[in-house]
Amino acid sequence: MQVPRLHSDTVEQVKQRADIYDIVSEHVVLRKGGKGYVGLCPFHNEKTPSFSVSQVKQMYYCFGCGAGGDAIKFLMELGKQSFSEVVLDLARRYQVSVKTLEPEQRQELQRQLTLREQLYEILAIANQFYQHALHQPLGEKASNYLKLERRLSDETIGQFGLGYAPASWETLYRYLVEQKRYSVQLVQQAGLIKQRQSGDGYYDYFRDRLTIPISDLQGRIIGFGGRAFGDEQPKYLNSPETELFSKGKTLFALDKAKTAISQLDSAVVVEGYFDAIALHAAGITNVAASLGTALSLEQVRQLLRYSESKQLILNFDADAAGKQASIRAIGEIAELAYHGEVQLRILNLPDGKDADEYLHTYTAEQYRELLASAPLWLDWQIEQITLGRDLKQATQFQQVAQELVKLLKKIDNSDTRNYYVSRCAEILSLGDARLVALRAENLLAQIAPYHQRKPIPIKTQKQQSKDEAPAKERSLLEQAEALLLQIYLHYPEHRQAVCSALEERGLQFNFSHHRFLWQQILNEKAENFSITETQQSLISRIQTRCLQMENEIAQVTPLFHLDEKTQQDLLRATQVIQAATACIERVLCEKQYRLFLELWQNCDPTNEPERSQFYYQSLYAEQKKLQKLDRMRQFGLTDLLS
C-alpha cells in the first residue's frame, strides 16, 4: 500500500498517546533508575544496562551504542519499519484518526486501512480453520506426514501454525462465507478462494494440502504455502499476489528469525519451508526461506537490516537446481557483493542433502560448524568454475581461464582483487610454483583495462598544512558545534544568544550533519514555535521531522540527549556560546589568512609594492584575529574538551 504523507496532527496525536515506557517495556525489561528507567539495550549486546527511558521527556537513549529517539523511532529501529508504517500501526492501536496532507486521499487511505485489517482477520481465521482440520480424522494423513516423515514435534507444529486444507472443493468457502458471513469479494481478495471459469460459484484455492502460514515482520498472517501429498503439481503452491502478500518481497519465518539474526549478526537463507522449520526446531533460529523464487535484492535488503556486519549465508540445495539457484541469487545481489556491502557465503551440504535431510542424520552443532566454515561467494564461484575441469587439456584450461578473468574483472576493491588474482594464478599453475608469477601477470594484464586508477596526487607538507586541518583541530571544532546545538535544543533561555552569535558574525556550521540539524531547527522555528518553546516540545518536533529522513538522523541523535558531564558543563552556557562561536569563526578567519598568504607569496614586491604591502597588512591583521579567537575558544572550551 502506498501511504500518503501523514498530517502533522496525526503524528502529534500518536506521540501524545503512545507512552514511551509502555512501548519499550513490551520489548525490554525495565527497572527504575534515577528519574527514569534502565535496561539492557535491544540494539546491541551488553551485560550492564546502559539503555535509559525517560517518561518525562518521552525519549530513550543508549549510552553504549548511541541509539536514541522517541516511541516512533524505537519501533522503526526495532521492527525495521518506515515512519508511516509505525505511525499507522500506533494510530490503530491508540484509536487516533488518520489525516493526510492531501484531503482527497483521506477517504482512500481509510478504505485501504480497513481492507487490510479485514484481510488480516480473514487470514487469521482461515489459519485457525486449517489448524483445527489437521487434528481431525480428515487431517490424519497430514498429521502423520509432519510427525513421521518430517519428524516435527507438536510444539514445532503449533509454533509455525501448520494445518491442513481439506480435499473437498468448497469447505473453506462455506466456512468463511456461509458460516462466518464474510463477503465473497473479501475472501477472494485474501487469496483463499477462486471463481470458477464458468463464473458460477467459487472453490477453495488450497485443497488436500498441508498449509504453512506465511507472516509479515509483525507476525501477521499474509498468505499460505500449500504442500501436496501425492503426485499433484505443483508440489508447493503459494497464495496468489494480494493486497498483503507478494512472493518476491517476502521471506518465510523472517518474523521469527529477525531477533536471532541481530544477536548472531548473520542471516541464513534456505530454499524450502521445511528446511527453515527444521533448523528453527533444532535451535538454529537465524534462518529464513525464499518462497520458491530466486532471491531478490529487496529480500536481501530486508535481511541485511538486522545484521550489522551484513553477513548472509545461502544454504540452497546441493543438487544442480540448488546450485543454479545460488548462482541466480548471486547474480541478483552481485553489485552489493562486489562492492563489499554484503558479506556473502555459500553453503552446500554434503551428499547433496538439504537442511531438513541433513538434520535427520547429523546434529545441530555439526550444522553450525559447516555454517562457520562456509566459503565466501567468490571462493565458491571459483570452485564451481573449476569443478570437473581437466586443466591439463588446452581447451578446458582456456575456458576456465576466461571464466576466471570475467570474475576478477568485476571485483572493485584492489586488495580483494589482488588476493584472488594470486589465488587463481595458483590454480592455473597446476602446482608448479615457478609459473605462479607468470600466471598472475597474465591475469592482471587481461583485467587491467577495467581497473585503471587515477594517479593519487602527492601533497607537499606545505599543501597538507594548507588543505587539511589537523585531526585535533577538527575534533575541537566538531565538539564546539555540537555544544552550541545542544545549548539551543536543551536551554530555551539561551536560544536568542546562540542565534545572535551566529547571525552577527555570519557563521555557518561546518559539518554536514550539524548543518542538517540546524536547518531542521530553522524550519521548525519558521513554522511552529517561538524562541522560548520548551526543550521537550522542540526536541519532539525536531525528532519527528528527522525521522522521515533516516539517512541523516544517525549522527545527530546523540545531540538530543545530555549526559551528566555535559549538563554540568553547560551550566556555563554564556561562556560556552562565546567559545564555540569563536571556534567556528576561526575556520573562516583561517581561510582568509591562507588566501592572503598565498596572494602575498605570489606577488612581486619590486613591481607591485603597494599590492604586496596591502596583502602583508591583511595577513598580519588576520593573524592577530586568529590569536584573539584562539584565546576566546580556549578560555571556554579547553577544560570542557580535554
The predicted pLDDT at position 466 comes to 40
Residue 535: pLDDT above 90? no
Residue 369: pLDDT above 70? yes
Residue 461: pLDDT above 60? no
The predicted pLDDT at position 549 comes to 65
Residue 243: pLDDT above 70? yes
Query: Whole-number mean pLDDT of the chain?
Result: 83
**What does DSSP assign to residue 33?**
E
Residue 340: pLDDT above 80? no
3-state SS, residue 542: helix
Closest-CA residue to 166 (of 213, 226, 208): 208
Task: Grade residue 472 by pLDDT with cuts at 50, 70 and 90.
Answer: low
Q: Which residue has the higher pLDDT, 228 or 101?
A: 228
Residue 329: pLDDT above 70? yes
CATH superfamily placement of domain 8-101: Zinc finger, CHC2-typedomain (3.90.580.10)
Tens digits of residue pLDDT in 111-150: 666 788 889 999 999 999 999 999 999 999 999 999 999 9
**Span 585-591, mean pLDDT?**
82
- In three state form, how does the secondary structure of 192-206 look? CEEECCCCCCEEECC
Every domain of the chain and the residues it spans: 8-101, 105-245, 249-375, 388-450, 469-641
Closest-CA residue to 489 (of 523, 527, 540): 540
**Span 304-323, mean pLDDT?**
80
The contacts of residue 495 (CB under 8 Å, 6+ apart) are 488, 531, 532
The predicted pLDDT at position 82 comes to 80
Task: Grade residue 454 by pLDDT with cuts at 50, 70 and 90.
Answer: very low
105-245 has the same fold as 8-101: no
The predicted pLDDT at position 635 comes to 54
Specify the CATH number for 249-375; select among 3.20.20.100, 3.40.1360.10, 3.40.50.720, 3.40.50.300: 3.40.1360.10
Q: Which residue has the higher pLDDT, 280 or 95?
A: 280
Residue 333: pLDDT above 50? yes
User: Does pTM top 0.85 for this prediction?
Assistant: no
Residues 347, 389 contacting (CB under 8 angstroms): no
The predicted pLDDT at position 455 comes to 32
Grid cell 586541518 in the structure block, residue: 469
Closest-CA residue to 117 (of 205, 182, 211, 184): 182
Residue 639: pLDDT above 60? no
Q: Which residue has the higher pLDDT, 79 or 270?
A: 270
CATH code reported for the domain at 105-245: 3.90.980.10
